A and B are shown apart, each in its own frame.
Chain A
Amino acid sequence: MIQTDILIIGAGPTGLFTVFEAGLLKLKCHLIDALAQPGGQCAEIYPKKPIYDIPAYPEILAGDLVKNLMKQIEPFQPGFTLGERAETIENQDDGSFIVTTNKGTKHQAPVVAIAGGLGSFEPRKPPITNIVDFEDKGVEYVIRDPELYRDKDVVIAGGGDSALDWSIFLADVANSVTLVHRRNEFRGALDSVEKVQELKNLGKIELITPAEVVDINGNGSVESVSIKRGADVFNRECDHFVPLFGLAPKLGPIADWGLEIEKNAIKVDNTLDYQTNIPGIYAIGDVNTYPGKLKLILCGFHEATLMCQSAYQRIFPDKRYVMKYTTVGGVEGFDGSKKEAPKAVVKAIN
């Protein structure tokens, strides 16, 4: 069991900055994120796009913002559970919480801060009516173990990098690979597109464009898919159908934690500390809502800062504390590092 002071769900900018503010109060943090790397949307969706409203940065790339935040919080040695989605929360008798991920990793903390943004990123599912009936019975939205496809007939749908990359990879593993895309053009990296073209010429990948998978057929598991090209609909026998249409955020299991939800976001007390209706669980950043809420990174930083003060009081109800400026108190890392403002030289005038 992983134990910490503040368990942060979501490693986007708000979640990361929480580690810094908590660290100033000597509170340790651990972060859970469904994505494989920290940074949330900034890292996953738009790392190369500039942001213009971070105070004191006239312009900063989203990816660089994440890099800087990671550097800023390094002295506070945060723990990470990445690539796992926070699934359940249990209230303990001592007032603490146990959060378990979809992979069974357990975390215990007296304070939980949900900084989940728009939710956890889940694969986008094409609107094929019977697709749910075939999930894990030949339909997979994510390729976890390529060996599953050895010597099988595989149909992949999509036109982005992951559809191209997996088509290339599976061309050597599967018995046959068919790539179906709605356009003739692909928007993946140029060398991936060229490689697919080459494999197509060698007969190792069959490309069906502009076309769409419209139906899945089989008795208990996938036996074929129906593909629509123009006015034609035809069947293609296969063992697996892998739709790769990117990721979209979904509030997900958090929505069932008994928290008050409004407008697809978690209601919090913004007059005080961004606490939810469950004492000890806070929600900060894009995931929360309150009158006048703005989904801005800079607002998330502010919310994180206030939330940490309240978390401190919850963890140490009998201790007194007042906020200290970093320029005065410096930054003492858990790794023994210490940053502080240089002392002024005092010299007497004779």
Chain B
Amino acid sequence: MEQDISITIIDREGVEHTIDAPTDMNMNLMEVVRSYELAPEGTIGVCGGMAMCASCQCYVLSEHELPEMGMDEEAMLAEAFYVEDNSRLGCQIHISPELEGLKVQLAPES
């Protein structure tokens, strides 16, 4: 589909997956990971996408300019574990055409 973008996701086992993600379905990165079953159900998106659990934390490896963090995301990451400077919550990253070529790695389960 022409509205799809290509994203690379490194799963928790270190396996790299390059997948297509739709930009017209109001999806976020956490939902994309779940739709491709790149992390077991129940270990990602536990709060459903409300920036309240950090189970979808990922490290952004590419140079993309991502939308700024909201207060919820910032507060959650302040309480989360394994946080690095490039940590983001997948549920707060809306899939848009600007993210073509995005590369992220899923943070360990905690």
Contacts and interface: CB of A to CB of B under 8 A. Distances in A.
Interface in A263-302: 263-265, 289, 295
A265 B43 CA distance: 11
Contacts of A126: 81
A245 B82 contact: no
Given A263-B42, A265-B42, A127 B82 contact: yes
A182 B78 contact: yes
B78 A251 contact: no
Contacts of A41: 47
Interface in B54-87: 55, 75, 78-79, 81-83
Contacts of B41: 263-265, 289
B79 A118 contact: no
A124 B43 CA distance: 14
A126 B81 CA distance: 6
A187 B46 contact: no
Interface string B33-47: 000000011110011
B78 A181 contact: yes
A350 to B, nearest CB: 63
Contacts of B78: 159, 181-183, 185, 187
Given A127-B81, A159-B78, A248-B53, A264 B42 contact: yes
A245 to B, nearest CB: 5
Nearest to A181: B78
A166 B82 CA distance: 24
Contacts of A245: 79, 81
A124 B110 CA distance: 8
B7 interface: no
B50 interface: yes
A333 interface: no
B110 to A, nearest CB: 6
B27 interface: no
A158 B57 CA distance: 18
A95 interface: no
Contacts of A185: 78
- Interface residues of B, dominant DSSP: loop
A49 B79 contact: no
B79 A158 contact: yes
Contacts, number: 51
Contacts of B43: 264
B72 to A, nearest CB: 9
B52 interface: yes
B40 A264 contact: yes
Contacts of A124: 81, 110
Contacts of A169: none
B83 A249 contact: no
Contacts of A187: 75, 78-79
A121 to B, nearest CB: 11
Nearest to A41: B47
A202 B99 CA distance: 50
Q: Which of B75, B78, B83 has the most CB of A within 10 A?
A: B78
Interface in A157-172: 158-160
B110 A127 contact: yes
A46 interface: yes
Contacts of A183: 78
B81 A251 contact: no
A49 B50 contact: yes
A79 interface: no
Interface of B: 40-43, 46-48, 50, 52-53, 55, 75, 78-79, 81-83, 108, 110
Interface of A: 41, 45-46, 49, 118, 124, 126-127, 158-160, 181-183, 185, 187, 245-246, 248-249, 251, 263-265, 289, 295
6 contacts: A46-B52, A127-B82, A159-B78, A183-B78, A185-B78, A264-B40
Given A182-B83, A264-B40, 16 more contacts: A45-B50, A46-B50, A46-B52, A49-B50, A126-B81, A127-B82, A160-B79, A181-B78, A182-B79, A183-B78, A246-B79, A248-B53, A249-B46, A251-B42, A263-B42, A265-B41
